Amino acid sequence: MDLSIVVPLYNEEESIPELYQWIDRVMKENNFTYEVIFVNDGSTDRSWEIIERLKDNNSNIKGIKFRRNYGKSPALFCGFEQAEGDVVITMDADMQDSPDEIPGLYQMITSEGYDMVSGWKKKRYDPLSKTLPTKLFNATARRVSGIKNLHDFNCGLKAYRKDVVKNIEVYGEMHRYIPYLAKNAGFNRIGEKIVQHQARKFGTTKFGGWNRFFNGYLDLLSLWFLSRFGIKPMHFFGLLGSLMFIFGFIAVIIVGATKLYNMYNGMPYRLVTDSPYFYLSLTAMIIGTQLFLTGFIGELIARNSTERNNYQIEKVI
Ligand code: UDP
Ligand code: MG
């Protein structure tokens, strides 16, 4: 099978039949063998009935139905598990992404050797309240992830070599950072293709508001931390803790020594506990010890984690 097209959806009843017809037309024009995997993320409208009806007449449709709404990332994860095509495409169900882009994306994966290609909605048809935060967000994501050639991390339209989707774990709200996840799993050839974007035809956006902003950044922070220190937490906490402790220890010796020196030389001196520096060094030593212990506990957890030896093995012969 050439292509698996994974479509996560949450309350998109109006769009589904039209989207499927459009995909089907493009696939037939290009003689692709394909499947469309609709992942119904706990829709409360008639989306699932519509998918079931479509499936009756078209054997190349698969459907996954969540009992409740989990989010776009879990939907993608389960779609990826089912995907059988050599190239896996993800696209939103709201028809903001155009199926006409699929042949071009497929080409980039199969002939130009990319592991994954991300769409770039260079001209976007969304309100400013969405496009402005997105700019900021993309700039940060580029810096933190080190993937400098991507303008649009969160574009719903992406193409992957099958290996990629089988070896990454998209959870929480990590769908925004799939290129980063892919890079951390060792898939380095990440490209970009400018794609058409339409205004939403039916329904409303499912990602509004400020939550998106804060959660997005917190997720990026977690990913950065996990990829750098996930299996060696001591390297982070141990270093910080040791520095803190040494700083406190030296400071307290200076405070004590100054007092003794002044005392023996008959100069005026004050009690160690009267010096503000004493409290600073005390705090530094306590925090240092705690950071260090956090590192040890982190190591103990990492050691027991089922993921500890979960290395990305590309091939076994
Ligand atoms: N979506 C989903 N689960 C959710 C929220 C959204 O599966 O909890 C789907 C949604 O149906 C759409 C895609 O994710 O197919 C992108 O959502 P949306 O178009 O609302 O986001 P926007 O384009 O406004 O960023
Ligand atoms: Mg949309």
Ligand 1 center to residue 41 CA distance, Å?
10
> What's the CA gap between 250 and 115, in Å, rounded?
52
> What's the CA gap between 58 and 19, in Å, rounded?
14
Q: In percent, how much of the chain has pLDDT > 70?
A: 100
Domain residue spans of the chain: 3-230+309-316, 234-301
Mean pLDDT score, 301-314: 77
Provide CATH code, domain 3-230+309-316.
3.90.550.10
- pLDDT tens sequence across 40-97: 999 999 999 999 999 999 999 999 999 999 999 999 999 999 999 999 999 999 999 9
What pTM was computed for the model?
0.86
State the closest ligand 1 atom to the C-alpha of 8, by its place in the atom list counted from 1: 7
Only one residue has tokens 């040494």, namely: 246
List, in order, residues 6 or more apart from 266 with CB less than 8 Å away. none
Lowest mean pLDDT among 121-135, 137-151, 160-174: 121-135
Is 187 near ligand 1, meaning CB less than 6 Å away?
no
- pLDDT tens sequence across 227-247: 899 889 999 999 999 999 999
- pLDDT tens sequence across 24-40: 999 999 999 999 999 99
The protein residue whose alpha carbon is closest to atom 9 in ligand 1 is 9
The protein residue whose alpha carbon is closest to atom 16 in ligand 1 is 92
Q: In percent, how much of the chain has pLDDT > 90?
A: 79
Only one residue has tokens 């007092």, namely: 259
Mean pLDDT score, 217-227: 91
Residues 60 and 71: beta-carbon distance below 8 Å? no
